[in-house]
Amino acid sequence: MSNPIRVSIVDDEADLRENIAAFVDAAPGFRCISVYSSAEEALVRLPQEKPDVVLMDINLGGMSGIECVRLLKPLLPSAQVVMLTVFEDTAKIFSALAAGACGYLLKRLPPAKLIEAIQEVMEGGSPMSAPIARKVVQSLQAAQPPKEERSDLSTREREVLDRLAEGRAYKQIAEAMGVSIHTVRSYIRRIYEKLHVQSRTEAVAKYLRA
């Protein structure tokens, strides 16, 4: 493939990151361009390398992966950061999303599914392992947002946000709602304006926290 998806990995488990790098490189249309064991090193190197996707662990030796995402996004706004971790607690999920991550996967995910998730995030999706998506949905259902934050969102706009929170790609949302991708993008633009945000991740995080 002339323009493979460029992937970087940040994880302090040497065997795991090398294994991930190996099967990313073996997948057609993908290339692992770098691996790092610390957030500190990744913050220095990644803005120069400009990967398309960064797979980020949370529990690193020094700075946490969540804090790394928070600092990395302003330096490399084009990169899609996906958390790849063992943690399933709600606080870490929402902290990672609020920091700028656009996906949250568990390390026990089969390699083939990880490749699919990387492809999905490049197509505008927010991949999440099934247990994570369930926690997000449960938190969404339990949330009672203040009227001043969300009262002006239409039913269809909330429907789009619900599906974004489940990690669905724009194409999947369009099919589920019976509209075009262009219409979905129009909804999302209006959602950004109403919630005063500039990205899908910010919109979902604010919607879930509200």
pLDDT in tens, the chain (210 residues): 568 999 999 999 999 999 999 999 999 999 999 999 999 999 999 999 999 999 999 999 889 999 999 999 999 998 999 999 998 888 888 889 889 998 899 998 898 999 999 998 888 888 888 788 777 767 666 655 544 445 588 899 989 988 888 778 788 899 999 999 889 888 988 888 888 877 777 777 777 665
Residues 42 and 64 in one domain: yes
Residues 117 and 147 in one domain: no
Provide the CB-side half-sphere exposure for 8 (13 A, CA). 23
C-alpha 117/C-alpha 72 separation (Å) is 21
Instruction: Check which CATH number belongs to the domain holding 78 and give it.
Output: 3.40.50.2300
What would the pLDDT profile of 194-208 be if each residue is shown by its tens digit? 888 777 777 777 776
Residues 18 and 81 in one domain: yes
Residues 100 and 170 in one domain: no
pLDDT at site 209? 65
CA separation, residue 97 to residues 50, 135, 207 (Å): 21, 13, 11
Residues 125 and 155 in one domain: no
pLDDT at site 206? 76
pLDDT at site 125? 82
List beta partners, residue 84.
105
Boundary of a domain, candidates 129, 153, 187: 129
> Does residue 177 lie in a domain region?
yes
Q: Where in the sequence is the domain holding 115, given as residue range(s)?
A: 5-129
pLDDT at site 148? 47
124 contact partners, CB below 8 Å, separation of at least 6: 169, 170, 171, 200
Residues 12 and 72 in one domain: yes
C-alpha 127/C-alpha 132 separation (Å) is 10
Residues 42 and 76 in one domain: yes
State which amino acid sits at residue 170. Y
Residues 23 and 109 in one domain: yes
CA 4 to chain CA centroid, Å, is 20
> Does residue 110 lie in a domain region?
yes
Instruction: Check which CATH number belongs to the domain holding 174 and give it.
Output: 1.10.10.10
pLDDT at site 141? 61
Counted domains in the chain: 2
Boundary of a domain, candidates 97, 129, 161: 129
